[in-house]
Amino acid sequence: MTTVAVRDSGVPTSGVLAALRRRGKLWLLALTVLAWVAVWAATRGTSTQEIGGATLTDAHQWFRGRAAWVEDAASAGTNPVFGLANGIADLLNGLIAFLQRLFTVPEFPRPYPEIGWLGVIAMAAWVTYAVAGWRSVLLVVPSFLAFGFLGYWEDSLDLLIITLVSVFIAVVIGIPLGVAMAHSKIVSAILTPVLDVMQTMPSFIYLLPLTIVFGIGSAAATIVTLIYALPPVVRITAHGIRSVSPSTLEATRSLGQSGWQRLRNVELPMSKRTVIVGINQTMMAALSMATIAAFIDSPGLGQPVLEGLRRGQLGASAVAGLAIVIMAIMLDRTTTAASIRAERAARAGRDDRRRRRLVLTGTGVLTLAAIGVSHNQVWANPFPSSPDLGSPIAAGVDRFADWLRTDLSGLTTAIQEAFTVWFLNPVQDLVANSPWFVTAAALLAVAAIAGGRRALASTAVCLAGIYFLDLWYNAMVTLTSVFTATAVTMVVGVALGVWMGRSGLADRAIRPVLDAAQTIPPFVYLVPILILFGPNRFTAIVAGVIYAVPPATKLIADGIRGVAPATVEAAESAGTSRLQMITKVQIPMARGALLVAGNQGLLYVLSMVVIGGMVGAGALGFDIVTGFRQTSMIGRGLAAGVAIVLLGIMLDRITTHAANQSASTNPTTATHRRRRPLTGGIA
Amino acid sequence: MSDAALSVHGLWKVFGPKAGSIIGTPDADLPRPELLARTGCVAAVKDVSFDVAPGEVFVVMGLSGSGKSTLVRCLTRLIEPSAGSIEIDGDDVVTMSDSRLRELRRTHVSMVFQHFGLLPHRQVIDNVAYGLEVRGEPKSKRLARSQEMVDLVGLSGNEHSYPDQLSGGMQQRVGLARALAADPSVMLFDEPFSALDPLIRRDMQNEVIRLHDEVGKSMVFVTHDLAEALKLGDRILIMRDGAVVQVGTPAEVVARPADDYVRDFVSDVPRSHVLTLRYVMREPGPDDSTEGPVMSSDTVVRQAARAALASEHVVRVVDDGELVGIVDDDAILRVVVAEEEATPA
Ligand SMILES: Nc1ncnc2c1ncn2[C@@H]1O[C@H](COP(=O)(O)OP(=O)(O)O)[C@@H](O)[C@H]1O
Ligand SMILES: [Mg+2]
């Protein structure tokens, strides 16, 4: 308590100055918006750069030309880069086709795949027992049965094949990369921004360019999944290796171990558990991306979801979505159990180990027998078609949706219309219907005030790019969705986050829900939201909010919890009320966390709003989806992808610089920034 | 000195951006804060020289931040020294290739650390064997040797425990066993007992004394605890801000502190436990009685006190048959009484 008092009274001038500067900034931002509204009122609807849905400009044709050139080069096989890409694509397509022949696709003259349901389930159970223990088997076997009874046996296995192949490659590449990052500052400096880009770029964006290089289908699906899923295992491996106790490293070094001995005997065993956590994250990312890869004809459960969305058969989409959720839970729980088991297994006594080997051999023989039976016996091969749980669920969902639309449409429509009329439309009118240069000037002013010169420069470059892509109007419509969804996300995130930060009970109750929400592939959310609200902008915004609330809330809760207890105590002893405590102490002091949450919220929302483009949100997302569907529109689709990347960079730069600026004017958040350690020393 | 087990000469370690360009300039003599402000560097070890004889226990002592850990790590280049020379068993450590250096660490020098640094995923026996493992000893041989070491440090029965199942004192015994396993000629200790409870610390100090008697290694022992230094050290080197303030036997340091820093350090030491007669005797005079007890000059005052006070005559201090001084009751009482006064009731 005393230290706080000293700090507050010790540097009064700088504190007041910072507060003034902050206040001044808010006034300036308000003035900017006022001026914008005034100019908008006078010029509204002119120079908006709006183009028709099927219009193709020179810029789009240029992209189309590039795409055609790449496709030609790839098919001619003369260019070594595309030759390599072709080779990789063939290899992956071959591998996945082979796995599909084993499990899901019959090869003439056999009427059934090589291994039927009995063999698959036996294998899954055996592998689960080996890596995660028998408890997880009790989850895995019912999950596989559910895939079958829901009517999506083959699609589930296909999704699993794409996911696991990608995860396998990600782990084989990712662990050595993570180790290299932990050992070398140079490698780390090179890889960190690459990983940042891989993670912040909306996943939807690189689908289209990759299909041009790799074609559509399994290979491209595996590669997009790999790109999206690689960063977590690299980062978390690097983190695990870096956090190996320095005293153990030093002590073992003093015994004269070589670099290789250090890695093998000290670093890898001591970070094993962390690395498995990384694999878990990679697995969940892979599953969510492999689902979305249905857009580029990836086999798997994404297909029936997408098909249902396209045809308006939401019941079928919902059943397939349910199977995806079951798979997500199964993979998440199993890898988590595997990380815990890794610890215990290392400590098992010699007897335990011998018994385990016996059990594994015995069950292994049984598994082989089951595989053999499922190869030869029809009853054990195609998954039985009854009982059929999928059709009644689908029918039930469809009935429910009808009922919603007829009997309850009043409520959902009311919510949706109120939001659209009172919030979404005015914002969109301002952002997209102002002349382009007015909106640009306003955005530049906001960037300069909030983020300073560097944010201004990035924003200028990004806006110029969007302008020259001839997609200004659509980009502004997308930006509107992003703004509104982020605003809602922050309101919800602050409310939940403050509550969780202040109450341990609330935290324990809410956090598991947020964790669960984050393991579900976002594509799956769209289905229930569509059922509730139908295809439109609002649905995409709701999906964005649902996707972004969990990470934003957790960041805010951690920020509130991180406010020094001494400060809270001091404020309490000064007679602060609860509301004052929240608004005057906890939120201001957690401002750094709030800004980071806003930054993350924007990026999450952006990637989801784009996916929402295909369910009626229009704008850039729709341009991309059209690019997949119609070869003539591929140029515009590619341009839209670039425009989204530019939007993402712009929003990221503005919020990051704003966060840094606030950190440098605010002593309490300054500690969030990284400190550079002194060089040299105990290496 | 070629017969020393370890010989250090003019050793420097400067941390910071332009570390190399500071030594030998007037900057090097600046006090630490000024050096840091001017150059951004910290001179952790400044021009340190000393020799350790075979079998000697050499203690390095100083306040926290005085550069002890850095100094002891420089000896096997766990921290790369900035300047100076280091010889271990006659080999120049500073110029060694990486592989020679690994060899030195595997066979000649081993170290015990304040925070143990055990491998949490290995059983005690495999922790002890780790040094032998990295140098490629066959499994049966290294397990046999490790078992011996486990028995030697009193951990029999705990071979198959994991480090986190042991108390701090027992973990440090594992650290000791691991260091002993390689049968090194020099052992380095960096505040090995500072993280332990006082009672366990005393046990462990006695353990080191016992092991030293049994295995007779040369030891460099870093501590910030003067009592520990006096108890274990044949000689003590006192450091302050990276530089050597004084090197001497425990009695020398207590009797003739080189400056106020050392005096402060030794002010509340029980002097009668440390001082020898050499430091309390006076010149023999013609009137001195020749009938009192005879003692050598390195007898500790406390041991001499009973006989000296019981006798009516003064104590004659005789080295090699020659009378070198006289100790009267007053001299003894001065030491003992001063101590009583210094110790609060
Ligand atoms: N890696 C390092 N980089 C910069 N300064 C260091 C480093 N290691 C130690 N120092 C500095 O060197 C000085 C001596 O530290 P150290 O040897 O650990 O002292 P001791 O062990 O006596 O407490 C301290 O001022 C410390 O801050
Ligand atoms: Mg130290």
- Here the ipTM equals 0.86
Chain A: nearest CA to B246, how far in angstroms? 26
Q: Would the pTM count as exceeding 0.95?
A: no
* CA B224 to ligand 2 centroid distance, Å: 8
Per-residue pLDDT tens over the stretch A476-487: 988 888 888 999
Nearest Cα to Cα of residue A601 among A493, A463, A448, A480: A493
Q: In this structure, is residue A638 part of a structural domain?
A: yes
| Confidence at residue A679, expressed as pLDDT on a 0 to 100 scale | 26
Residue A44's SS3 state is: coil
| pLDDT value at A675 more than 70 | no
* CA A190 to ligand 2 centroid distance, Å: 35
Contact B104 A269 (CB under 8 A): no
Give the structural domain span for A658. 410-672
Q: Where are the alpha helices (DSSP H) in A293-349?
A: 302-311, 314-347
DSSP A505-571: HHHHHHHHHHHHHHHS-HHHHHHHHHHHH-SSHHHHHHHHHHHHHHHHHHHHHHHHHHS-HHHHHHH
| Confidence at residue A664, expressed as pLDDT on a 0 to 100 scale | 62
Contact B215, B204 (CB under 8 A): no
Buried b (16+ CB within 10 A) or exposed e, A6-16: eeeeeeeeebe
Contact A251 B134 (CB under 8 A): no
CB-based contact (8 Å) between A256 and chain B? yes
Q: Which ligand is nearest to the CA of B63?
A: 1
**Rg for chain A, CA atoms, rounded:** 27
| Confidence at residue A78, expressed as pLDDT on a 0 to 100 scale | 74
- Across the range A369-389, mean pLDDT stands at 86
> Cβ of A468: how many Cβ atoms within 10 Å?
13
Q: In this structure, is residue A68 part of a structural domain?
A: no
Cα separation, B59 vs B64, whole angstroms: 15
| pLDDT value at A69 more than 60 | yes
CB-based contact (8 Å) between B261 and chain A? no
| pLDDT category of residue A4 using cuts at 50, 70 and 90 | very low
To 10 degrees, what angle do helices A314-347 and A117-132 make? 40
Cα separation, A92 vs B265, whole angstroms: 72
Cα separation, A279 vs A276, whole angstroms: 5
Cα separation, A389 vs A341, whole angstroms: 34
| pLDDT category of residue A75 using cuts at 50, 70 and 90 | confident
Contact B175 A251 (CB under 8 A): yes
Pairwise pLDDT comparison (A585 vs B124), residue with the higher score: B124
Q: B42 — phi, psi (to 5°)?
A: -120, 120
**Is the CB of B42 within 6 Å of ligand 1?**
yes
| pLDDT category of residue A327 using cuts at 50, 70 and 90 | very high
In angstroms, how far is CA B164 from the centroid of its own chain? 28
Pairwise pLDDT comparison (A521 vs B247), residue with the higher score: B247
- Across the range A658-669, mean pLDDT stands at 62
Q: In this structure, is residue A423 part of a structural domain?
A: yes
Per-residue HEC secondary structure of chain B comes to CCCCCEEEEEEEEEECCCHHHCCCCHHHHCCHHHHHHHHCCEEEEEEEEEEECCCCEEEEECCCCCCHHHHHHHCCCCCCCCEEEEEECCEECCCCCHHHHHHHHHHCEEEECCCCCCCCCCCHHHHHCHHHHHCCCCHHHHHHHHHHHHHHCCCCCCCCCCHHHCCHHHHHHHHHHHHHHCCCCEEEEECCCCCCCHHHHHHHHHHHHHHHHHHCCEEEEEECCHHHHHHHCCEEEEEECCEEEEEECHHHHHHCCCCHHHHHHHCCCCHHHHCEHHHCCECCCCCCCCCCCEECCCCEHHHHHHHHHHCCCCEEEEECCEEEEEECHHHHHHHHHHHHHHCCC
| Confidence at residue B343, expressed as pLDDT on a 0 to 100 scale | 52
Tally of residues, chain A? 683
* Amino acid in the structure at residue A193: P
Contact A681 B130 (CB under 8 A): no
Q: B146 — phi, psi (to 5°)?
A: -65, -40
* CA B70 to ligand 1 centroid distance, Å: 6
Return all residues near B30 (Cβ < 8 A) that are at least 6 apart. B38
CB-based contact (8 Å) between A52 and chain B? no
Interface test mutation site (partner A, options B36, B121, B146, B171, max chain A beta carbons within 10 A) = B121
Return all residues near B107 (Cβ < 8 A) that are at least 6 apart. A256, B135, B182, B183, B184
Q: In this structure, is residue A72 part of a structural domain?
A: no
Q: Which tokens is A64 given?
A: 């189309």
| pLDDT category of residue A5 using cuts at 50, 70 and 90 | very low
CB-based contact (8 Å) between A255 and chain B? yes
Q: Which ligand is nearest to the CA of B113?
A: 2
Q: In this structure, is residue A501 part of a structural domain?
A: yes
Q: In this structure, is residue A622 part of a structural domain?
A: yes
Indicate the range of A168-172, A291-295, B180-184 predicted with least confidence: A291-295
User: How many structural domains comprise chain A?
Assistant: 1
Size of interface A-B (CB pairs under 8 A): 84
Q: pLDDT over 70 for what percent of chain A?
A: 93
Q: Which residue of B has its CA nearest to A272?
A: B121
Q: In this structure, is residue A460 part of a structural domain?
A: yes
Q: Which tokens is A21 given?
A: 């500067």
Q: Which tokens is A511 given?
A: 């956090």
> Cβ of A58: how many Cβ atoms within 10 Å?
9
| pLDDT value at B339 more than 70 | no
- Across the range A272-283, mean pLDDT stands at 89
| Confidence at residue A657, expressed as pLDDT on a 0 to 100 scale | 85
Q: Give me the half-sphere count of Cα atoms (radius 13 Å) on the Cβ side of residue B329.
A: 8
Residue A94's SS3 state is: helix
Contact A474, A623 (CB under 8 A): yes
Buried b (16+ CB within 10 A) or exposed e, B149-161: bbebbebeebbeb
| pLDDT value at A373 more than 80 | yes
* Amino acid in the structure at residue B133: E
Buried b (16+ CB within 10 A) or exposed e, A31-57: ebeeebeebbeeeeeeebbebeeeebe
Please name the residue that has the structure tokens 């000896």. Answer: B75
Cα separation, B43 vs B50, whole angstroms: 18
| Confidence at residue A245, expressed as pLDDT on a 0 to 100 scale | 92
Q: Which ligand is nearest to the CA of B240?
A: 1
Q: B104 — phi, psi (to 5°)?
A: -60, -45
- Across the range B42-50, mean pLDDT stands at 93
Return all residues near A441 (Cβ < 8 A) that are at least 6 apart. none
* CA A474 to ligand 2 centroid distance, Å: 63
Best of B15, B60, B68, B223 to mutate for ligand 1, by most ligand atoms within 8 A of CB? Answer: B15
Residue A518 sits in a domain whose CATH number is: 1.10.3720.10
What's the DSSP call for residue A77?
A: T
Indicate the range of A348-352, A614-618, B3-7, B324-328 predicted with least confidence: A614-618
Best of A676, A678, A679 to mutate for ligand 1, by most ligand atoms within 8 A of CB? Answer: A678
| pLDDT category of residue B118 using cuts at 50, 70 and 90 | very high
Q: In this structure, is residue A526 part of a structural domain?
A: yes
* CA A682 to ligand 1 centroid distance, Å: 10
Q: Which residue of A has its CA nearest to B132?
A: A255
Q: Which atom of ligand 1 is nearest to the CA of B63?
A: 22
Residue A266's SS3 state is: helix
Contact A595, A605 (CB under 8 A): no
Contact A270 B115 (CB under 8 A): no
> Which secondary-structure segment (H or E) carries A499?
helix A472-502
Q: Which tokens is B176 given?
A: 């000791």
**Rg for chain B, CA atoms, rounded:** 23
> Cβ of B140: how many Cβ atoms within 10 Å?
8
Give me chain A's average pLDDT, please. 84
Please name the residue that has the structure tokens 């004394």. Answer: B209
